[in-house]
């Protein structure tokens, strides 16, 4: 069962957007408590007191004892509003819980014994379809989580909510038999084959471009040069040899 946390609050008399903005300017959070056939009660919450509970990720399924000016009110958070730019908490709604009240609440789903699933050992992938499920339960008996045992699961198998044994006094709040998870085969990467372009597809400029190494080779059909023949273009300095000195 979820533990009950205590949060201090103060009653406030003014309602409306202007009053709520005034509370936020002081660094606090405006809130309201409603339900149990009683009039809504406006409250003010300290920001640093509420924030750690919101950051747990389970605030909306946590029982809260609101200490409103010394009077305890059992409630459960129903909505948390955030400022869209700075992501600060700007309002919290609480549902007042009467004696023997039953409520609908979202419970997190956890998966265990993944190492005992043959499908995962064979390279399969666990696909989590539902991270939470909605259940009806007594207000003073909210399960911490719903556990799915993956022992023996093969590739291609899945787990539905109807296959899970829920705790006593806890029933599903949804009509459909939702899928919680499945094990699927890992997708294989397709091998990409790159074909060399045909000669007809090669641009004409690319076909005519000579190879750098063959730039000085003779043209096709030309007779080879005779052995000992002088180079076609002798260096300029070699053409002008110095004359012999006269005695």
Q: Are 101 and 137 in contact (CB under 8 A)?
A: no
Q: Identify the helix (H) or strand (E) that includes residue 23.
A: helix 17-25
Q: What is the pLDDT of residue 51?
A: 95
- Which domain-ending residue is among 132, 165, 184? 184
Q: How many domains does the chain have?
A: 2
pLDDT computed for residue 240 by the predictor: 45
pLDDT value, residue 193: 60
CATH of the domain at 36: 2.40.240.10
Both structure tokens of 205? 């400029």
Please report the pLDDT score of residue 186 as a whole number: 82
Residue by residue, pLDDT tens for the chain (247 residues) are: 567 899 999 999 888 888 899 999 999 999 999 998 899 999 999 999 999 999 998 899 899 999 998 899 999 999 999 999 989 999 999 999 988 889 999 999 999 999 999 999 999 999 999 999 999 999 888 888 899 999 999 999 999 999 999 988 999 998 889 999 999 998 765 555 666 666 555 555 555 545 544 444 454 444 444 444 444 444 444 444 454 444 4
Q: Is 108 exposed, middle or buried, given 0-12, 13-18 or 19+ CB atoms closer than 10 A?
A: middle
In this structure, the answer to whether residues 112 and 169 fall within a common structural domain is yes
Neighbours of 157 (CB within 10 A): 16
Do 90 and 22 fall into the same domain? Answer: yes
Per-residue model confidence (pLDDT) at position 234: 45
What pLDDT is stored for residue 194 in this prediction?
A: 61
- Whether residues 169 and 152 share a domain: the answer is yes
Domain boundary among 156, 184, 212: 184
My answer on whether 124 and 77 are in the same domain is: no
Structure tokens at 11: 């009653």
Spell out a b/e string for 11-46, using b for 16 or more CB atoms within 10 Å of the CB, else e. ebeeeeeeebeebbeeebbbbbbebeeeeebbbbbe
Q: What's 185's DSSP letter?
A: P
Cα 46 off chain centre by: 31
What was the pLDDT predicted at 212?
A: 47
Q: Report the SS3 class of residue 59.
A: helix
Based on the fold, state whether residues 11 and 70 are members of the same structural domain: yes
Could you tell me if 132 and 58 lie in one domain?
no
Q: Is residue 178 part of a domain?
A: yes
pLDDT at 188: 65
Assess if residue 58 is contained within a domain: yes
For residue 114, what are the domain limits? 103-184
Please give the DSSP secondary-structure letter assigned to residue 136. E
Listing DSSP states for 61-126 in one string gives: G-EEEEEETTEEEEEEEEEEEE-TTT--EEEEEEEE--TT-EEEEEEEEEEE-GGG-HHHHTT-EE
Residue 91's beta-bridge partner residues?
81
**Quick one: pLDDT at residue 140?**
83
């Amino acid at each position: 069962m979820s533990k009950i946390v205590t949060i201090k609050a103060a009653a406030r008399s003014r309602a409306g957007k202007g009053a709520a903005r005034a509370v936020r300017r002081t660094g606090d959070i405006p809130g309201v408590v409603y339900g149990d056939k009683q009039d809504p009660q406006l409250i003010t919450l300290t920001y640093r007191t509420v924030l750690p509970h919101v950051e747990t990720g389970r605030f909306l399924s946590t029982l809260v004892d609101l200490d409103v000016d010394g009077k305890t009110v059992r409630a459960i958070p129903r909505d948390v509003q955030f400022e869209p730019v700075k992501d600060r908490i700007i309002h919290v709604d609480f549902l007042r819980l009467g004696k023997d009240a039953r409520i609908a609440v979202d419970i997190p789903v956890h998966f265990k014994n993944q190492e005992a699933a043959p499908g995962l050992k064979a390279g399969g992938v666990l696909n989590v379809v539902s991270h939470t499920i909605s259940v009806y339960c007594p207000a003073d008996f909210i399960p911490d989580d719903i556990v799915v045992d993956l022992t023996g699961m093969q590739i291609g198998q899945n787990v539905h909510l109807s296959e899970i044994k829920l705790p006593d006094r806890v029933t599903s709040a949804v009509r459909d038999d939702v899928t919680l998870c499945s094990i699927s085969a890992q997708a294989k990467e397709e091998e990409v084959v790159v074909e060399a372009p045909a000669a007809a597809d090669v641009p004409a400029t690319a076909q005519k471009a000579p190879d750098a190494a063959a730039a000085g080779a003779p043209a096709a059909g030309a007779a080879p040069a005779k052995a000992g023949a002088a180079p076609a273009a002798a260096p300029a300095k070699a053409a002008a040899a110095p004359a012999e000195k006269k005695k």
